[in-house]
Homo-oligomer: A and B are copies of this chain.
Amino acid sequence: MSLSLNQRTTKRWSVAEAVEGCVRHGLEAVGLWREEVAEQGLAESVKLVRDAGLRVSSLCRGGFLTTPADPAPGTSGRASGGTARRAALDDNRRAIDEAAELGAACLVMVVGGLPGVRPGEPLPGEPLPVVRPGEPLPADPDGAGRPFSRDLAGAREQVAEALEVLAPYAGERGVKLALEPLHPMYCADRAVLSTLAQAVDLCLPYPEEQVGVVVDTFHVWWDPRLFEEIARAGRRIASYQVCDYLQPLPADVLLGRGMMGDGVIDFPPITRAVAAAGYTGDVEVEIFNADVWAADPDEIVATMKHRYARVVSV
C-alpha cells in the first residue's frame, strides 16, 4: 500500500497544482474530483496525470441515486419520478466515462440520502404546527405532503436497482464502482448506505472487477462489526481512505474529518485488517476541514506524509 493525496485535502489546488504537488512531495498517486477535473478539462487532466506518471487512485464521485417520486400537484418543481431517476443515471454514466478516461482505480459512489433531502439543507416544505393549550387544535396534517420521503427502506431499494443498471455499464468500460458506506449521521442527506456490511451485501451479486466497497476510517471506525466485515469484504475493498474523526465535531459535521492523529481513531488495527483482506492499492487521505483548507497546502501534504508514517501505516 502506498500513500495517495485525495485532492479535496488540498482544496485550493487545481488538478494541475495537485499533480505538481504530488510529484514535488514524492507521492505516486492522486485521487481526483469530478468538479475540479471539469474545471481543468478532462483531456488536459488525463494528460497531466499521465505525463507525471501518477496513478489515479479514485475519481470522486458518482452516486446520489435516490430520487423523489413525482411531486404532488402544487409542490416544488424539483426533478422527480422518472425524470429525476433518468438524470441521476445519466450523470453516473458520465462519471463512469470520465473514470475510464482517467484510468481511475475506481469511481467512488456516495449513494444519496432520503429522496428529496438535500445535503446540509433544511427539509423542504411546511413544518408541522405547534399546539397551544386552550386554543383549538391546528389543522391536522401528518406531514405526508412534504416534498421529501422518510422511506429509508425504499431509498435503499432504489440504490440496489440503480446498481443493476450501472454495474454492467461500468463493466463495459473497465471501471470499478466503489460503494462508500457513510457515517450514519449522513444517512438522511448523503448516503442511506450506512455500514460496511450493507455495502458488501450490495456488491456481492456483481463481478469483483465491477463493484467493490470503500473503507473510509472516518465513516466506519465506530462499527462493532468492522473487523469481521473488512475480512468478509476481502478483495472487494476497492479503496482505503484515511482521515481522523474529530472530537468534538465542528458546527458543520461534514467538516469533522481531521488529519490522522488529531482525533480518536486507532488506525493501525484497521490498516492491518485491510491489508490482511488482500488490499494492495493506494491509501488516500481525504480531509474536509476548514483549518486544513486554510493552511498552506504544502504544509498539509508534508504533515500528511509524516502522520501516515507515524500513525496509520504498520
Contact = CB atoms under 8 A, between A and B. Distances in A.
Contacts of A247: 117, 121-123, 188-189
B128 A307 contact: yes
Contacts of A123: 247, 263-264
Interface in A130-169: 130-133, 137, 140, 142-143, 148, 150-152, 156
B221 A264 contact: no
Contacts of A121: 247-248
B222 A150 contact: no
Main secondary structure of the interface of A (DSSP, over half): loop
Contact of A222 (B131, B184, B223, B298): B184
A284 B148 CA distance: 27
Given A150-B266, A251-B251, A310-B140, A185 B188 contact: no
Contacts of A198: 224
Contacts of A185: 183-185, 249, 253
Nearest to A186: B222
A187 interface: yes
A303 B311 CA distance: 50
Interface in A94-115: 114
Contacts of A221: 152, 187
Contacts of A264: 114, 117, 123, 148, 150, 188
Contact of A298 (B133, B143, B152): B133
A142 B299 contact: no
A152 to B, nearest CB: 7
A150 B260 CA distance: 13
A19 B146 CA distance: 36
B299 A265 contact: no
A308 to B, nearest CB: 11
Given A122-B247, A130-B299, A302-B131, A142 B183 contact: no
Which of A184, A225, A301 has its CB near the most chain B CB atoms (within 10 A)?
Answer: A184
Given A128-B262, A133-B301, 8 more contacts: A120-B248, A121-B247, A121-B248, A123-B264, A133-B299, A142-B311, A187-B221, A195-B224
19 contacts: A117-B247, A117-B264, A122-B247, A123-B264, A128-B261, A132-B299, A132-B302, A133-B299, A133-B301, A142-B261, A142-B310, A143-B311, A148-B264, A152-B266, A187-B222, A189-B248, A195-B224, A198-B224, A248-B253
Interface of A: 114, 117, 120-123, 127-128, 130-133, 137, 140, 142-143, 148, 150-152, 156, 183-185, 187-189, 194-195, 197-198, 221-225, 245, 247-249, 251, 253, 259, 261-266, 295, 298-299, 301-303, 305-307, 310-311
Top 10 nearest A-B pairs (CB, nearest first) are: A251-B251, A150-B266, A187-B222, A184-B222, A131-B302, A128-B261, A188-B264, A131-B303, A185-B185, A131-B306
